[in-house]
């Protein structure tokens, strides 16, 4: 190869590299802007104003938690498919559940239904540690890899049936369930700390409510906070609870 050709080739490679860096930079900037708009329009204007929740929603890069084909829709006002017939929840629902739990920085949280890992990342921005359980191995492993890449060292993921909770690390200050059983699993109530809070969608596909539950002086108090539609909680054979 002639020296001129080599120089030209090197210049072209530099241009390609620089322009790809620029476009990535530009893209992540535009995702940050979309995220700010999502938080303002879909969350703040609907009445959620807790600083920690809003900051977490502004920080976690939701577009990295959706399959590539949906990246353009990742900041829109609806849930999206993540594989195995499951979905990443609508941003407002993630913010709403997080807000209802009145999280403290010292809280140890259990999540049932890791899915994409997005809700776990939002929780991990606010609390001390997040334990999360996913029944589909493929989803759990994918979330594990992504959360590691994003440096979420305070999230521990287990593949298994979250209906039974995670006894080893119980009791928890907070439990958040993102799949719906027809009744609240007793194991989860048992693994909640005194003074703890749980939020869980309960019911059937067509009649489901988010229930907020509190444990005070050993007694359980609960009430419905919002009608919702989550995927069902299933066991390892795929049967609905």
End-to-end CA distance of the chain: 68
Instruction: Name the minimum Å distance from CB 6 to ligand SAH.
Output: 49
| Using rule CB under 6 A, residue 208 touches ligand SAH | no
- Using rule CB under 6 A, residue 155 touches ligand SAH: no
Q: Tell me: does residue 98 bind ligand SAH (CB under 6 A).
A: no
CB of 15 to ligand SAH, least distance (A): 39
The reply on whether position 201 binds ligand SAH by CB under 6 A is: no
State the nearest-atom distance from the C-beta of 162 to ligand SAH, in Å: 3
List the one residue from 80, 88, 93, 155 that touches ligand SAH (CB under 6 A): 88
The only residue of 43, 48, 133, 199 in contact with ligand SAH, by rule CB under 6 A: 133
Q: Provide long-range contacts, Cβ within 8 A and 24+ apart, for 44-53.
A: 46/92, 48/95, 48/96, 48/99, 50/99, 52/103, 52/125, 52/126, 53/95, 53/98, 53/99, 53/122, 53/126
Is residue 161 near ligand SAH by the rule CB under 6 A? yes
Query: Which listed residue (134, 157, 203, 215) binds ligand SAH by CB under 6 A?
Result: 134
Q: In this structure, what DSSP letter does residue 37 have?
A: H
Distance (Å, whole) CA 113 – CA 241: 14
Least distance in angstroms from the C-beta of 3 to ligand SAH: 54
Q: State the nearest-atom distance from the C-beta of 84 to ligand SAH, in Å.
A: 6
Q: Point out which span in 11-19, 70-78, 115-123, 206-214 binds ligand SAH (CB under 6 A).
A: 115-123
CB 180 within 8 A of CB 114: no
Annotated active-site residue 89? The verdict is yes
Residue among 89, 50, 100, 53 at smallest CA distance from 222: 100
Cα 69 to Cα 53: distance, rounded to the nearest angstrom? 28
Report the distance separating Cα 133 and Cα 7, nearest Å: 54
Helix runs in 101-203, H state only:
118-126, 137-149, 186-190
Q: Which of 89, 116, 180, 224 is catalytic?
A: 89
Q: What is the contact surface with ligand SAH in residues (CB under 6 A)?
A: 86-89, 112-113, 115-116, 118-119, 133-136, 139, 161-163, 178-179, 231, 233-234
């Amino acid at each position: 190869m002639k020296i001129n050709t080599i120089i030209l080739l090197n210049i072209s490679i530099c241009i390609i590299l620089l322009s790809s860096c620029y476009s990535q930079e530009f893209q992540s900037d535009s995702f940050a802007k979309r995220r700010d708009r999502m938080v303002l329009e879909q969350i703040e204007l609907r009445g959620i104003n807790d600083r920690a929740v809003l900051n977490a929603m502004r920080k976690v890069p939701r577009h990295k938690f959706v399959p590539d084909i949906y990246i353009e829709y990742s900041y829109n006002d609806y849930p999206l498919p993540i594989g195995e017939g499951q979905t990443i929840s609508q941003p407002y629902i993630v913010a709403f559940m997080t807000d209802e739990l009145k999280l403290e920085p010292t809280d140890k949280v259990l999540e049932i239904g890791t899915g994409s890992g997005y809700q776990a990342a939002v929780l991990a921005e606010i609390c001390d540690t997040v334990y999360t359980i996913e029944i589909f191995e493929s989803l759990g492993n994918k979330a594990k890899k992504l959360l590691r890449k994003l440096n979420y060292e305070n999230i521990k993921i287990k593949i298994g049936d979250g209906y039974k909770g995670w006894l080893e690390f119980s009791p928890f200050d907070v439990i958040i369930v993102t799949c719906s059983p027809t009744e609240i699993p007793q194991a989860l109530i048992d693994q909640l700390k005194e003074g703890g809070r749980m939020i869980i969608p309960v019911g059937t596909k067509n009649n489901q409510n988010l229930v907020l539950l509190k444990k005070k002086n050993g007694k359980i108090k609960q009430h419905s906070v919002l009608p919702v539609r989550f995927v069902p909680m299933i066991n390892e054979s795929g049967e609905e609870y």
